[in-house]
Structure 1
Amino acid sequence: MSKQSPANTDAHAGPAVIRAAAADAAARFGAAADEVDDAAAARLGVNRTDLRILGLVSAAEAMTAGALATAARLSPAATTAAIQRLAAAGHLRREVDPSDRRRAVVTVTATTAEILDRVYRPIGEAGLRLLDRYSPAELTLITEFLHVGRRMQLEQAERIRTMADG
Protein backbone atom coordinates (compact mmCIF):
# COMPACT_ATOMS: atom_id res chain seq x y z
CA MET A 1 0.00 0.00 0.00
CA SER A 2 1.19 3.48 -0.73
CA LYS A 3 1.42 6.15 1.92
CA GLN A 4 -0.90 8.37 -0.14
CA SER A 5 -4.49 8.66 1.08
CA PRO A 6 -7.48 10.55 -0.30
CA ALA A 7 -7.35 13.00 2.60
CA ASN A 8 -3.93 14.23 1.54
CA THR A 9 -4.34 13.96 -2.24
CA ASP A 10 -4.37 17.36 -3.91
CA ALA A 11 -7.37 17.79 -6.21
CA HIS A 12 -4.95 19.14 -8.80
CA ALA A 13 -2.60 16.15 -8.57
CA GLY A 14 -1.84 14.23 -11.72
CA PRO A 15 -3.82 11.18 -12.82
CA ALA A 16 -1.15 8.75 -11.58
CA VAL A 17 -1.25 10.22 -8.07
CA ILE A 18 -5.06 10.19 -7.99
CA ARG A 19 -5.16 6.59 -9.32
CA ALA A 20 -2.63 5.52 -6.66
CA ALA A 21 -4.69 7.22 -3.95
CA ALA A 22 -7.84 5.45 -5.18
CA ALA A 23 -6.05 2.08 -5.23
CA ASP A 24 -4.73 2.72 -1.74
CA ALA A 25 -8.19 3.69 -0.49
CA ALA A 26 -9.67 0.49 -1.96
CA ALA A 27 -6.96 -1.62 -0.30
CA ARG A 28 -7.50 0.12 3.03
CA PHE A 29 -11.27 -0.40 2.70
CA GLY A 30 -10.67 -4.13 2.20
CA ALA A 31 -8.35 -4.24 5.19
CA ALA A 32 -10.94 -2.44 7.33
CA ALA A 33 -13.59 -4.96 6.25
CA ASP A 34 -11.19 -7.73 7.31
CA GLU A 35 -10.87 -6.05 10.73
CA VAL A 36 -14.66 -6.05 11.07
CA ASP A 37 -14.80 -9.75 10.24
CA ASP A 38 -11.93 -10.48 12.66
CA ALA A 39 -13.85 -8.68 15.41
CA ALA A 40 -17.07 -10.51 14.52
CA ALA A 41 -15.28 -13.87 14.54
CA ALA A 42 -13.77 -13.09 17.93
CA ARG A 43 -17.17 -12.01 19.27
CA LEU A 44 -18.64 -15.34 18.19
CA GLY A 45 -15.59 -17.35 19.30
CA VAL A 46 -14.99 -18.79 15.82
CA ASN A 47 -12.30 -18.65 13.17
CA ARG A 48 -12.70 -16.74 9.90
CA THR A 49 -13.66 -19.85 7.91
CA ASP A 50 -16.39 -20.64 10.42
CA LEU A 51 -17.57 -17.02 10.27
CA ARG A 52 -17.79 -17.33 6.47
CA ILE A 53 -19.83 -20.52 6.90
CA LEU A 54 -22.18 -18.78 9.33
CA GLY A 55 -22.59 -15.93 6.86
CA LEU A 56 -23.37 -18.27 3.98
CA VAL A 57 -25.90 -20.27 5.99
CA SER A 58 -27.46 -17.11 7.41
CA ALA A 59 -27.87 -15.58 3.96
CA ALA A 60 -29.39 -18.77 2.54
CA GLU A 61 -31.47 -19.43 5.69
CA ALA A 62 -30.79 -23.19 5.28
CA MET A 63 -28.19 -25.17 3.35
CA THR A 64 -27.27 -28.78 2.78
CA ALA A 65 -23.72 -29.73 3.66
CA GLY A 66 -22.95 -30.27 -0.02
CA ALA A 67 -24.22 -26.84 -1.05
CA LEU A 68 -22.31 -25.29 1.84
CA ALA A 69 -19.08 -27.05 0.84
CA THR A 70 -19.43 -25.72 -2.69
CA ALA A 71 -20.27 -22.18 -1.59
CA ALA A 72 -17.46 -22.08 0.98
CA ARG A 73 -14.96 -23.78 -1.38
CA LEU A 74 -14.21 -26.44 1.23
CA SER A 75 -13.86 -30.19 0.96
CA PRO A 76 -16.80 -32.25 2.19
CA ALA A 77 -14.67 -33.46 5.13
CA ALA A 78 -13.69 -29.90 6.13
CA THR A 79 -17.31 -28.79 5.81
CA THR A 80 -18.53 -31.68 7.98
CA ALA A 81 -15.91 -30.85 10.61
CA ALA A 82 -16.92 -27.18 10.58
CA ILE A 83 -20.62 -28.03 10.85
CA GLN A 84 -19.90 -30.32 13.81
CA ARG A 85 -17.75 -27.64 15.47
CA LEU A 86 -20.34 -24.90 14.92
CA ALA A 87 -23.21 -27.12 16.05
CA ALA A 88 -21.32 -28.07 19.22
CA ALA A 89 -20.70 -24.37 19.89
CA GLY A 90 -24.41 -23.63 19.52
CA HIS A 91 -24.12 -21.64 16.28
CA LEU A 92 -25.67 -24.12 13.83
CA ARG A 93 -28.33 -26.77 14.09
CA ARG A 94 -29.05 -29.69 11.80
CA GLU A 95 -32.65 -30.14 10.70
CA VAL A 96 -34.55 -32.36 8.32
CA ASP A 97 -34.97 -30.67 4.94
CA PRO A 98 -38.70 -29.88 4.71
CA SER A 99 -38.63 -30.40 0.92
CA ASP A 100 -36.79 -33.75 1.10
CA ARG A 101 -37.06 -35.58 4.41
CA ARG A 102 -34.15 -37.86 3.44
CA ARG A 103 -31.77 -34.90 3.57
CA ALA A 104 -30.48 -32.72 6.38
CA VAL A 105 -29.93 -28.98 6.24
CA VAL A 106 -28.09 -26.68 8.59
CA THR A 107 -29.49 -23.41 9.89
CA VAL A 108 -28.11 -20.69 12.11
CA THR A 109 -29.45 -20.79 15.66
CA ALA A 110 -31.66 -17.93 16.82
CA THR A 111 -28.99 -16.75 19.27
CA THR A 112 -26.30 -16.63 16.60
CA ALA A 113 -28.67 -14.96 14.12
CA GLU A 114 -29.31 -12.26 16.72
CA ILE A 115 -25.57 -11.74 17.30
CA LEU A 116 -24.92 -11.56 13.55
CA ASP A 117 -27.70 -8.99 13.25
CA ARG A 118 -26.29 -6.92 16.14
CA VAL A 119 -22.84 -7.06 14.56
CA TYR A 120 -23.63 -6.42 10.89
CA ARG A 121 -26.95 -4.49 10.73
CA PRO A 122 -25.45 -1.27 12.19
CA ILE A 123 -22.63 -1.49 9.64
CA GLY A 124 -25.13 -1.73 6.81
CA GLU A 125 -27.11 1.18 8.20
CA ALA A 126 -23.98 3.31 8.62
CA GLY A 127 -22.94 2.45 5.07
CA LEU A 128 -26.30 3.59 3.72
CA ARG A 129 -25.93 6.86 5.60
CA LEU A 130 -22.49 7.35 4.04
CA LEU A 131 -23.93 6.73 0.58
CA ASP A 132 -26.51 9.47 1.12
CA ARG A 133 -23.80 12.06 0.49
CA TYR A 134 -23.30 10.94 -3.13
CA SER A 135 -25.31 11.86 -6.22
CA PRO A 136 -27.02 9.16 -8.30
CA ALA A 137 -24.28 9.55 -10.95
CA GLU A 138 -21.56 9.11 -8.32
CA LEU A 139 -23.35 6.08 -6.87
CA THR A 140 -23.56 4.56 -10.34
CA LEU A 141 -19.80 5.01 -10.75
CA ILE A 142 -19.08 3.61 -7.27
CA THR A 143 -21.34 0.61 -7.96
CA GLU A 144 -19.67 -0.08 -11.30
CA PHE A 145 -16.22 0.14 -9.69
CA LEU A 146 -17.25 -2.28 -6.94
CA HIS A 147 -18.74 -4.79 -9.40
CA VAL A 148 -15.72 -4.66 -11.70
CA GLY A 149 -13.33 -4.74 -8.74
CA ARG A 150 -15.12 -7.74 -7.23
CA ARG A 151 -14.84 -9.65 -10.51
CA MET A 152 -11.14 -8.76 -10.71
CA GLN A 153 -10.57 -9.96 -7.12
CA LEU A 154 -12.36 -13.25 -7.79
CA GLU A 155 -10.32 -13.77 -10.98
CA GLN A 156 -7.13 -13.14 -9.02
CA ALA A 157 -8.22 -15.56 -6.29
CA GLU A 158 -8.74 -18.23 -8.95
CA ARG A 159 -5.36 -17.40 -10.53
CA ILE A 160 -3.68 -17.82 -7.14
CA ARG A 161 -5.48 -21.13 -6.47
CA THR A 162 -4.25 -22.53 -9.78
CA MET A 163 -0.67 -21.23 -9.59
CA ALA A 164 2.02 -23.82 -10.10
CA ASP A 165 4.65 -24.10 -7.39
CA GLY A 166 8.03 -22.64 -8.12
Structure 2
Amino acid sequence: MSKDDGVDEVAVRMRMLQQSFDAFDEAAANLLGLNRTDLRCLDLILAKDPMSAGELTTAAKLSPAATTTAIDRLERAGFVTRNRDAANRRRVLVSATEAARAAEREVYGPVGEAGTMALRRYGKDQLAVIIDFLETAHRVQEEQTARLKGLPVRE
Protein backbone atom coordinates (compact mmCIF):
# COMPACT_ATOMS: atom_id res chain seq x y z
CA MET A 1 0.00 0.00 0.00
CA SER A 2 1.20 3.46 -0.79
CA LYS A 3 1.21 6.31 1.68
CA ASP A 4 -1.33 8.23 -0.38
CA ASP A 5 -4.06 5.55 -0.20
CA GLY A 6 -5.43 7.05 3.01
CA VAL A 7 -4.75 4.08 5.28
CA ASP A 8 -2.00 5.90 7.18
CA GLU A 9 -4.26 8.91 7.67
CA VAL A 10 -7.06 6.68 9.03
CA ALA A 11 -4.57 5.11 11.47
CA VAL A 12 -3.47 8.56 12.67
CA ARG A 13 -7.09 9.69 13.06
CA MET A 14 -7.98 6.52 14.98
CA ARG A 15 -5.10 7.14 17.37
CA MET A 16 -6.28 10.73 17.88
CA LEU A 17 -9.83 9.50 18.45
CA GLN A 18 -8.63 6.99 21.06
CA GLN A 19 -6.69 9.73 22.82
CA SER A 20 -9.81 11.94 22.85
CA PHE A 21 -11.84 9.07 24.36
CA ASP A 22 -9.18 8.62 27.03
CA ALA A 23 -9.16 12.35 27.83
CA PHE A 24 -12.96 12.42 28.03
CA ASP A 25 -13.06 9.39 30.33
CA GLU A 26 -10.42 10.98 32.55
CA ALA A 27 -12.42 14.22 32.75
CA ALA A 28 -15.66 12.30 33.46
CA ALA A 29 -14.00 10.26 36.20
CA ASN A 30 -12.56 13.40 37.79
CA LEU A 31 -15.92 15.18 37.62
CA LEU A 32 -17.63 12.26 39.38
CA GLY A 33 -14.84 11.76 41.92
CA LEU A 34 -14.03 8.28 40.59
CA ASN A 35 -10.98 6.53 39.23
CA ARG A 36 -11.01 5.15 35.70
CA THR A 37 -11.67 1.54 36.78
CA ASP A 38 -14.66 2.60 38.88
CA LEU A 39 -16.01 4.67 35.97
CA ARG A 40 -15.69 1.66 33.67
CA CYS A 41 -17.52 -0.52 36.21
CA LEU A 42 -20.26 2.09 36.60
CA ASP A 43 -20.68 2.24 32.82
CA LEU A 44 -21.06 -1.55 32.68
CA ILE A 45 -23.63 -1.49 35.50
CA LEU A 46 -25.60 1.33 33.86
CA ALA A 47 -25.71 -0.68 30.61
CA LYS A 48 -26.99 -3.89 32.26
CA ASP A 49 -28.85 -2.84 35.38
CA PRO A 50 -28.96 -4.81 37.64
CA MET A 51 -25.80 -6.84 37.23
CA SER A 52 -24.43 -9.53 39.49
CA ALA A 53 -21.03 -8.99 41.04
CA GLY A 54 -19.78 -12.04 39.12
CA GLU A 55 -21.04 -10.64 35.82
CA LEU A 56 -19.27 -7.37 36.58
CA THR A 57 -16.05 -9.25 37.37
CA THR A 58 -16.21 -10.95 33.97
CA ALA A 59 -17.28 -7.85 32.01
CA ALA A 60 -14.70 -5.56 33.62
CA LYS A 61 -12.00 -8.25 33.42
CA LEU A 62 -11.10 -7.72 37.07
CA SER A 63 -10.37 -10.13 39.89
CA PRO A 64 -13.27 -10.77 42.28
CA ALA A 65 -11.42 -8.82 45.00
CA ALA A 66 -10.84 -5.83 42.72
CA THR A 67 -14.51 -5.93 41.69
CA THR A 68 -15.61 -5.90 45.34
CA THR A 69 -13.34 -2.93 46.01
CA ALA A 70 -14.77 -1.04 43.01
CA ILE A 71 -18.35 -1.80 44.10
CA ASP A 72 -17.50 -0.63 47.63
CA ARG A 73 -16.21 2.70 46.28
CA LEU A 74 -19.19 3.14 43.94
CA GLU A 75 -21.56 2.38 46.81
CA ARG A 76 -19.82 4.93 49.07
CA ALA A 77 -20.08 7.49 46.25
CA GLY A 78 -23.85 6.86 46.09
CA PHE A 79 -23.82 5.44 42.53
CA VAL A 80 -24.78 1.82 43.22
CA THR A 81 -26.61 -0.34 45.72
CA ARG A 82 -26.20 -4.03 46.51
CA ASN A 83 -29.15 -6.33 46.97
CA ARG A 84 -29.55 -10.07 47.32
CA ASP A 85 -31.07 -11.75 44.28
CA ALA A 86 -34.57 -12.92 45.30
CA ALA A 87 -34.19 -16.04 43.13
CA ASN A 88 -30.73 -16.92 44.45
CA ARG A 89 -29.92 -15.54 47.90
CA ARG A 90 -26.19 -16.23 47.48
CA ARG A 91 -26.02 -13.92 44.47
CA VAL A 92 -25.55 -10.19 44.95
CA LEU A 93 -27.05 -7.81 42.41
CA VAL A 94 -25.53 -4.39 41.88
CA SER A 95 -27.92 -1.67 40.73
CA ALA A 96 -27.37 1.89 39.59
CA THR A 97 -28.93 4.59 41.75
CA GLU A 98 -30.82 7.63 40.55
CA ALA A 99 -27.65 9.64 41.29
CA ALA A 100 -25.80 7.41 38.81
CA ARG A 101 -28.53 7.89 36.20
CA ALA A 102 -28.41 11.66 36.74
CA ALA A 103 -24.62 11.64 36.35
CA GLU A 104 -24.99 9.55 33.18
CA ARG A 105 -27.41 12.11 31.74
CA GLU A 106 -25.15 15.03 32.72
CA VAL A 107 -21.91 13.55 31.40
CA TYR A 108 -22.97 11.40 28.46
CA GLY A 109 -26.27 12.95 27.36
CA PRO A 110 -24.66 15.93 25.62
CA VAL A 111 -22.10 13.63 23.95
CA GLY A 112 -24.89 11.46 22.57
CA GLU A 113 -26.80 14.47 21.30
CA ALA A 114 -23.72 16.00 19.67
CA GLY A 115 -22.78 12.66 18.12
CA THR A 116 -26.28 12.17 16.74
CA MET A 117 -26.24 15.64 15.21
CA ALA A 118 -22.80 15.03 13.67
CA LEU A 119 -23.91 11.70 12.16
CA ARG A 120 -26.98 13.24 10.54
CA ARG A 121 -24.71 14.65 7.82
CA TYR A 122 -24.14 11.13 6.48
CA GLY A 123 -26.49 9.17 4.25
CA LYS A 124 -27.70 5.64 4.91
CA ASP A 125 -25.02 4.05 2.69
CA GLN A 126 -22.26 6.08 4.35
CA LEU A 127 -23.53 5.10 7.79
CA ALA A 128 -23.42 1.43 6.72
CA VAL A 129 -19.73 1.85 5.82
CA ILE A 130 -19.07 3.60 9.15
CA ILE A 131 -20.79 0.77 11.04
CA ASP A 132 -18.78 -1.81 9.12
CA PHE A 133 -15.56 0.07 9.87
CA LEU A 134 -16.40 0.32 13.58
CA GLU A 135 -17.22 -3.39 13.78
CA THR A 136 -13.94 -4.22 12.01
CA ALA A 137 -11.96 -1.88 14.28
CA HIS A 138 -13.62 -3.43 17.35
CA ARG A 139 -12.74 -6.95 16.20
CA VAL A 140 -9.13 -5.96 15.43
CA GLN A 141 -8.81 -4.29 18.84
CA GLU A 142 -10.13 -7.37 20.65
CA GLU A 143 -7.78 -9.64 18.68
CA GLN A 144 -4.81 -7.41 19.53
CA THR A 145 -5.81 -7.27 23.20
CA ALA A 146 -5.84 -11.08 23.27
CA ARG A 147 -2.44 -11.11 21.54
CA LEU A 148 -0.97 -8.81 24.20
CA LYS A 149 -2.41 -10.89 27.02
CA GLY A 150 -0.61 -13.90 25.58
CA LEU A 151 2.81 -12.24 25.77
CA PRO A 152 5.07 -12.51 28.82
CA VAL A 153 4.95 -9.52 31.17
CA ARG A 154 8.11 -7.39 31.08
CA GLU A 155 9.82 -6.75 34.35
Q: TM-score, normalised by structure 1?
A: 0.86
CA distance in 2 between counterparts of 1:165 and 1:49 reads: 21
Shift of 1:145: 0.6
* Residue among 117, 124, 128 paired with 1:129: 117
Larger Cα-atom Rg: 1
CA distance in 2 between counterparts of 1:44 and 1:99 reads: 33
What residue is the counterpart of 1:32 in the other structure? 20
CA distance in 2 between counterparts of 1:165 and 1:110 reads: 41
What residue is the counterpart of 1:16 in the other structure? 3
Shift of 1:100: 3.1
Pairing 1:40-119 to 2, within 5 Å after superposition: 40-119=28-107
Could you list the runs of 5+ residues in structure 1 that have no partner in the other structure?
1-13
CA distance in 2 between counterparts of 1:99 and 1:144 reads: 40
CA distance in 2 between counterparts of 1:129 and 1:71 reads: 30
CA distance in 2 between counterparts of 1:30 and 1:93 reads: 31
Shift of 1:79: 0.6
Shift of 1:32: 0.8
Shift of 1:102: 4.0
Q: Over aligned residue pairs, what C-alpha RMSD do you find?
A: 1.6
Give percent identity, aligned residues only: 41
Could you list the runs of 5+ residues in structure 2 that have no partner in the other structure?
none
CA distance in 2 between counterparts of 1:152 and 1:70 reads: 20
Instruction: Give the SS at the match of 2:91.
Output: strand
The aligned amino acid for 1:85 is: R
Instruction: Give the SS at the match of 1:124.
Output: helix
Shift of 1:15: 5.3
Q: TM-score, normalised by structure 2?
A: 0.91
Q: How many equivalent residue pairs? A: 153
* Structure with the larger RCO, 1 or 2 (CA within 8 Å, 6+ apart): 2
Task: Summarize deviations over 1:45-95 as a string: whole Å, max 9, x none.
Answer: 111110000000000011111111000000111111111121122121111
